[in-house]
Amino acid sequence: MIKLVFFTYKKPGLGDEEFHRHWRTQHAAVIRKHAQALGIVKYHQTHAIVGDPLNQPSEHFPERYDGIAEIWFKDREHLGLWFDNSTPASKAAGKEIRADERKFVDRTRAGWIVADVLPIID
């Protein structure tokens, strides 16, 4: 398996609760709908705890993410479907996923990595 990790910021002007609610419900449903077509085997959302003082910017960490999404794919070929939308099903999935992201994610600041997972404590 191979993992894609997104670091997300909420869209400017969107409240914390609205961001987390949309991501947890509507966006999760969109990902679930297209999981098979994209070869997604796992999808996790990590939400920043709203109001927790430890999540506030600091001198050493001037910005904080609003959340992290982790998507595991069967293999690199399926990961490729996420990026190149080379089949009709993956093209439709990509279009719907991106359209939904524009509702709640600041895509100009979001980042990602493609990663190998090395369990240290499991």
Residue 98 maps to a domain: yes
Residue 23 maps to a domain: yes
Residue 31 maps to a domain: yes
Question: Model's pTM, two decimal places?
Answer: 0.90
Residue 74 maps to a domain: no
Could you list the pLDDT tens digit for every one of the 122 residues in the chain? 899 999 999 999 999 999 999 999 999 999 999 999 999 999 999 999 988 988 888 888 888 899 999 999 989 999 998 998 889 999 999 999 999 999 999 999 989 999 988 889 98
Residue 25 maps to a domain: yes
Residue 70 maps to a domain: no
Residue 57 maps to a domain: no
Report which secondary-structure segment, H or E, holds 95: helix 88-104
Total domains in the fold of the chain: 1
CA pair distance 56, 94, nearest whole angstrom: 33
Range of the domain at 103: 10-49+84-114
HSE value, Cβ hemisphere, 13 Å, CA-based, for 98 = 10
Residue 62 maps to a domain: no
